[in-house]
Amino acid sequence: MFKIVVLLSGKGSNLQAIIDQIDTGKLNAEISAVISNRADAYGLKRAENTGIDNIVLDHSHFLDRESFDQSLAQIINSYSPDLVVLAGFMRILSDSFVESFEGKLINIHPSLLPKYKGLNTHKRALENGDKEHGASVHFVIPELDSGAVIVQGIVSVKDDDTEATLANRVHQIEHLIYPKAINYLAEKNLEYKKGQVFLNNELLKEPIRKYL
C-alpha cells in the first residue's frame, strides 16, 4: 500500500479531501499519520475521527529550526512513508530537511505558479486584475514554492470577487487536484527524477491542468 504522512498547521480541508477520496476507493493509498506543529489545528481532529495517528510537534518547544526539523524527520521516518504531503503546513522547512525528502515531498500552493510565490496570493491576483487564478501541486525543493509543478487547478476570477470568495473557489479546486496528484504518484504514473516530472515515462513539460 502507498503510505502517506500529512503535515499541517490548520483546518485541514485538504486532508479531508484526501481522506474522502481514499474512503470512496478513488485513491489507492493510506494515511499513516498526520503531524501538526500546532496543538489546536482542526486537521488533527479530522485525523482522530478517521482513526489516523495524529501527532503534535510544537515548534515553540525547540531551540531552533534544525532541531525541530530533525525531530520531525525522525517521526516521519518511523512510518516509512512513500510520500510526505504538506497540506497547509505553515513552517519553512530547512534545506537539509527538504533535501532529505526530495522527490517524496509535495505541497499545494494557492496560485498558478510561478506566479505569486509566498503569501497573500488571492489579494495579489485580484490587484493585478488576473482573469484566472488557482492552485498548484508541486514537488518541494529548498527554494520556496519553486519545485516542479505536477497539477494546476484553474478557476476564473469574477468581477465581483473578494479575497474571500476567490479563496473559497480556489479551495474547491484544491480539493480536486491534491488527491488527483497523489493518485498519479500512488499509481506510479508519475515519477520525479532530478528536478523533473515524468508522466508515463514522458517529460511533463507543462503541468497537468484542471478547470473548476
The phi, psi pair for 53, rounded to 5°, reads: -55, 130
Enter the DSSP assignment of 131.
S
Query: Which residues on adjacent β-strands are paired with residue 34?
Result: 6, 54
Q: How far is the CB of 14 from ligand GRF (least distance, A)?
A: 3
Q: Pick the catalytic residue from 59, 61, 109, 138.
A: 109
Query: With 0-12 CB in 10 A as exposed, 13-18 as middle and 19+ as buried, what is 59?
Result: middle
Catalytic residue flag (residue 171): no
CA distance 51 to 38: 19
User: Quick check: 153 binds ligand GRF (CB under 6 A)?
Assistant: no
Residue among 27 and 87 whose Cβ is closer to ligand GRF: 87
Peptide bond into 81 cis (omega under 30): no
User: Quick check: 110 binds ligand GRF (CB under 6 A)?
Assistant: yes
Q: How far is the CB of 178 from ligand GRF (least distance, A)?
A: 8
Name the one range near ligand GRF by CB under 6 A: 3-11, 31-39, 51-59, 198-206.
3-11
Which parts of this chain interact with ligand GRF (CB under 6 A)? Answer: 8, 10-14, 87-88, 108-110, 135, 171, 174
